[in-house]
Amino acid sequence: MTRTWKKIALITGLFLLVVLSAMGILDRGMDIAGLKLLDETNAIYLEDAFDKALAGFLLLSAIKSGLAVVEGSEVGVGFNLELGDVVQPFYDYVDIAWTAALAGGSILTVMQLALKGLDIVDQWALTLLLSAILLFYVCKWWLFRKTEPHRILRQVVQFFFTLSIAVYLLLPLSITATAFLSQKITGPIITETNTRLEALEDFFAPEQLNRSFFAGTDASDLSTFDFRERLNRAGKGIKELIDYLKAATDELAELTIKLIAAYAFDCILFPLFFGLILMTMLKSGIGYVFDLKR
């Protein structure tokens, strides 16, 4: 086979690959080769992590509702300044933890959407790469004799090659590595935190708070002439609530710090760390390969 026919065969093969890629056939082949299993593993991890974040968010929302009832109840109106001052530090920790759970769940949702978006984009990134390679050889062999267009097209090929590898492997592998570390390090912390928050949520249910601290303070429980008894009961309930909140605030402060640290590692530090490492390796490897071909 002459050199010209070899060139024609290569161009024809590249054109067929472009068509197959645009039709999604090459993408399905990569799924069979193992990428689909990688995507499914990541989807399971993200779904489980999101469920934990959602559970924590709902628990903290329930605790916030219970505290709001305390501040806005008839007892709270009668002792507004004292009760508000005691509840506020505890409420602040709840609000911080609530924000952390909300942010963590939102970032995990963004990662889920990013993976779904990559499933749509990846085949077109591969199609653009193959098209760029096809255009490079057509221009190199038949259209341009000068080296400058070749250099520009070479950079285009290198860009799409980097993009394709990043789309197919960079984010999925970053999430896979994050999932491994999460199961070993942060996963148990989040599970423990949610368990302890659930105990707090049961206690801070509005009905439970009224039974525990303010039973008998409702106007319907006592006659109009027993107002002093009502105040005495309310004062005793507030004192007991103050003592409980002081002890619970320390526990909630610990849970808040753990929750923020866990979500910071799971949603930000771990993915960024592995993403930067893989991107550095990818750019170095691709740069080395393209330098060898010059």
Answer positive or negative: Cα dihedral of 170, 171, 172, 178: positive
Number of residues assigned to the chain: 294
Flag whether the pTM goes above 0.85: no
**In this predicted structure, what is the pLDDT of residue 222?**
46
Long-range pairs for 136-140: beta carbons < 8 A, 24 or more residues apart:
137/7, 137/10, 137/11, 137/14, 138/11
pLDDT, position 229: 60
Quote the number of domains for the chain: 1
As given in the structure block, the two tokens for residue 70 are 């305390």
Q: Which residues contact 178 (CB under 8 A, 6 or more apart)?
A: 45, 266, 270, 271, 274
225-230: long-range pairs with CB below 8 Å, 24+: none
Q: What is the pLDDT along the chain (294 residues), one digit of tens a residue?
A: 577 788 888 888 888 988 888 888 888 887 787 788 888 888 888 898 888 888 888 888 888 877 776 665 544 444 444 555 667 777 788 888 888 888 888 988 888 888 888 888 888 888 888 888 888 888 877 776 666 677 788 888 888 888 888 888 888 888 888 888 888 888 888 888 888 888 877 776 656 666 666 555 554 444 444 556 655 666 666 677 777 777 777 888 888 888 888 888 888 888 888 888 877 877 777 766 666 555
Determine the structural domain holding residue 201 and report its residue range: 3-292
What is the pLDDT at residue 80? Answer: 45
Q: Quick count: other Cβ atoms within 10 Å of Cβ 87? A: 20
Q: What is the pLDDT of residues 105-146, one digit of tens each?
A: 898 888 888 888 888 888 888 888 888 888 888 887 777 666
